[in-house]
């Protein structure tokens, strides 16, 4: 178990649940970060007494300094502050739960400082998988998955003795609020309809990603990097009830699944306590009350973001960074009411296709440039 944590994005959905876990396990919180939510951050500082806090937004940081002057806790701002929190000396694990590509540089900073990583921030691996996994290997750092599907696979993999016997990963997907709908029924869906997820309560960006199923596309790429698997050996199955969190298949066609109620505190806790397990506040799974567990083939045509991501990881290079960057921008525009729901998939597809193939090893600046270019592409291609 990692007793000393730095939590990036502590005010978000995953961040606050990670603090629930920390409170119950009696862990020490060494550093916390947020973008601008100083109200919640102040509460967290008063309860957990971290040594260091970073707030990306400069005005919010000034405000927080005034509000918490009595605590004497150091507060920094900007990307420098975020990276300092990621690499905070007295922390032994950094839990990255910021949303978006902004998490990439701090993930690398934490790895360079040899902190174990609990990773919720999937965009980090999607865009920068090659450099993040190489840096983790070089520094002898483990990346422990927080994403529920990847945690499920990781838990199932504990039963594997030889990687050669692993045939396939099967990611489950709830299908989101628009399961079964066709493209014509999706053109006019509203922000509120898209934010109404059937089984999980999450931050805004990932909730939209679940509605477009970009989230599952991102997770295919995330799984390819985390578990060193070929994209063609990673499948998706729709599972409406979100009880089976993912599965692995061996060469003898034996399949292992991890199950439980849909509550992120189980995967968050397992990343922190691995390889040990401790009691958790999450309820027991009562299978007799589940009525049915249903499974369906995904609709890759309607939910094209999934196909774009599969193609992006197959092509490699900067394609995943471009798809991810375009999606982040498109989701922002959709939430701001500037584009329609189905425009998201069209823009992600067009931005990924506009990317040219890159040969050889990638650098951080190439990845950041591809991300920026994809966002600009989206802005200039709004209908």
Residues in contact with ligand NDP by the rule CB under 6 A: 9-15, 34-37, 56, 82, 97-99, 102, 120-123, 147, 200, 202-206, 264
Nearest approach in angstroms of CB 364 to Mg ion is: 25
Single out the segment in contact with Mg ion by CB under 5 A; choices: 78-86, 144-152, 163-171, 251-259. 144-152
174 or 342, CB closer to ligand NDP?
174
Nearest approach in angstroms of CB 188 to ligand NDP is: 26
| Contact of residue 99 among ligand NDP, Mg ion, none (CB under 5-8 Å per partner type) | ligand NDP
Closest residue to ligand NDP, judged by C-beta, is 12
Length of the chain, please? 383
Nearest approach in angstroms of CB 60 to ligand NDP is: 7
Nearest approach in angstroms of CB 147 to Mg ion is: 4
Measured in whole angstroms, how far is the alpha carbon of residue 278 from the centre of its chain?
Answer: 24
Residue 349 touching Mg ion (CB under 5 A)? no
Q: Which residue in 147, 332, 343, 349 binds Mg ion (CB under 5 A)?
A: 147
| Contact of residue 213 among ligand NDP, Mg ion, none (CB under 5-8 Å per partner type) | none
273 or 358, CB closer to ligand NDP?
273
55 or 170, CB closer to ligand NDP?
55
| Contact of residue 317 among Mg ion, ligand NDP, none (CB under 5-8 Å per partner type) | none
| Contact of residue 7 among ligand NDP, Mg ion, none (CB under 5-8 Å per partner type) | none
| Contact of residue 34 among ligand NDP, Mg ion, none (CB under 5-8 Å per partner type) | ligand NDP
């Amino acid at each position: 178990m990692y007793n000393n944590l730095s939590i990036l994005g502590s005010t978000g959905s995953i961040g606050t649940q990670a603090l629930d876990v920390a409170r119950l396990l009696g862990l020490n919180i060494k550093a916390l970060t947020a973008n601008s939510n100083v109200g919640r951050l102040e509460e967290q500082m008063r309860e957990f007494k971290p040594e260091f806090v970073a707030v990306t937004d400069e005005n919010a940081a000034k405000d927080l300094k005034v509000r918490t002057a009595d605590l004497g806790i150091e507060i920094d701002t900007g990307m420098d502050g975020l990276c300092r929190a990621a690499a905070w000396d007295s922390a032994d694990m950094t839990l990255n739960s910021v949303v978006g590509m902004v998490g990439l540089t701090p993930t690398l900073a934490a790895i360079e400082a040899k902190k174990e990583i609990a990773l919720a921030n999937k965009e980090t691996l999607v865009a920068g998988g090659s450099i993040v996994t190489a840096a983790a290997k070089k520094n002898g750092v483990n990346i422990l998955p927080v994403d529920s599907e990847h945690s499920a696979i990781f838990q199932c993999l504990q039963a594997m003795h030889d990687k050669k016997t692993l045939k396939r990963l099967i990611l489950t997907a709830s299908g989101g609020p628009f399961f079964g709908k066709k493209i014509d029924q999706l053109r006019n869906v509203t922000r509120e309809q898209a934010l109404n997820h059937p089984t999980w309560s999450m931050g805004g960006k990932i909730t939209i990603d679940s509605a477009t199923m970009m989230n599952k596309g991102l997770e295919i790429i995330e799984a390819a990097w985390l578990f060193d698997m070929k994209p063609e050996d990673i499948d998706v199955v729709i599972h409406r009830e979100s009880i089976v969190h993912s599965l692995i298949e061996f060469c003898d066609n034996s399949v292992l699944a991890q199950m439980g109620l849909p509550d992120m505190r189980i995967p968050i806790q397992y990343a922190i306590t691995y390889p040990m397990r401790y009691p958790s506040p999450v309820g027991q799974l009562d299978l007799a009350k589940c009525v049915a567990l249903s499974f369906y083939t995904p609709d890759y045509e309607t939910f094209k973001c999934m196909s774009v991501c599969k193609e992006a990881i197959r092509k490699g290079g900067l394609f995943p960074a471009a798809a991810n960057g375009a999606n982040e921008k498109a989701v922002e525009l959709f939430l701001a009411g500037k584009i329609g729901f189905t425009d998201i998939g069209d823009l992600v597809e067009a931005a990924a296709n506009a990317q040219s193939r890159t040969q050889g090893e990638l650098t951080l600046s190439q990845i950041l440039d591809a991300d920026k270019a994809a966002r600009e592409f989206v802005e200039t291609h709004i209908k």
